[in-house]
Amino acid sequence: MTFTKSAVILRLFNVLAWLFAGALCLLLVFISVGFAFILYEHSTWNASIVRESKSRGDVVVALLEEHYRLHGRFPDALDELHNENNIRYEQPTSGVRQWQYRVKNDGDDFVLTFSANKDRYPICFYDSEVKEWYGDS
């Protein structure tokens, strides 16, 4: 079986077209996955969701302050709030949806935080010394 020059060129063109189509499909998949990741990150950290998390945090802050009023110090862990109050606090709606809590100044102050991801950025935190929320945009 002999091939003519035009048949070889046509076959080569078909192979290259399929390779190009496959590469284009892979590129579209990578772009789609990247875009989905960006959308997911944005959907868990935007102004409205952060605002809701701060609102839930205000409940936690009130419970912590009530504990301080009763015991003269802030609890070592947030779990202690569940034991003494019938009010259950909710986790933040933003990011990893988990409160991080740290006592400072020998139990006289605390920091309550939530973050967008496990790398802790962006982050939003409440500092009991200044009684205010701070956060990254």
Can you tell me the mean pLDDT for 23-37?
A: 73
> Quick one: pLDDT at residue 98?
93
84 and 108 both lie in a single domain: yes
The DSSP secondary structure of 107-136, one letter per residue, reads: TTEEEEEEESSTT--SEEEEETTTTEEEE-
Residues 5-28 have pLDDT tens digits of 777 788 888 878 888 888 887 887
Range of 67's domain?
Answer: 47-135
Cα-flanking dihedrals φ and ψ of residue 70, to 5°?
Answer: -80, -35
Q: What is the pLDDT of residues 66-103, one digit of tens each?
A: 989 988 999 999 988 865 556 778 999 988 899 999 99
CA distance 127 to 129: 5
pLDDT band at 57; cut points 50, 70, 90 = very high
Q: Classify 89 in phi/psi space as left (phi over 0), alpha (psi -120 to 50) or beta.
A: beta
30 and 58 together in one domain: no
Cα–Cα distance between 7 and 99 in angstroms, integer? 68
CATH number at residue 107: 3.30.1300
Which H or E run includes 112?
Answer: strand 109-115
Question: Which pair of tokens denotes residue 55?
Answer: 């609102």
Same domain, 67 and 128: yes
Q: Which of 87, 97, 89, 101 lies closest to 49 in space, CA to CA?
A: 97
| 1 in any annotated domain | no
Q: Which residue has the higher pLDDT, 31 or 3?
A: 31
How many domains would you assign to the chain? 2
pLDDT at 111: 96
Cα–Cα dist 81/1, whole Å:
85
Output the pLDDT for position 43.
59
* 2 assigned to some structural domain: no
pTM: 0.67
Task: Check whether residue 72 and residue 22 sit in a common domain.
Answer: no
Same domain, 94 and 32: no
Q: For residues 137 and 134, what is the distance between their CA atoms, to the nearest angstrom?
A: 10
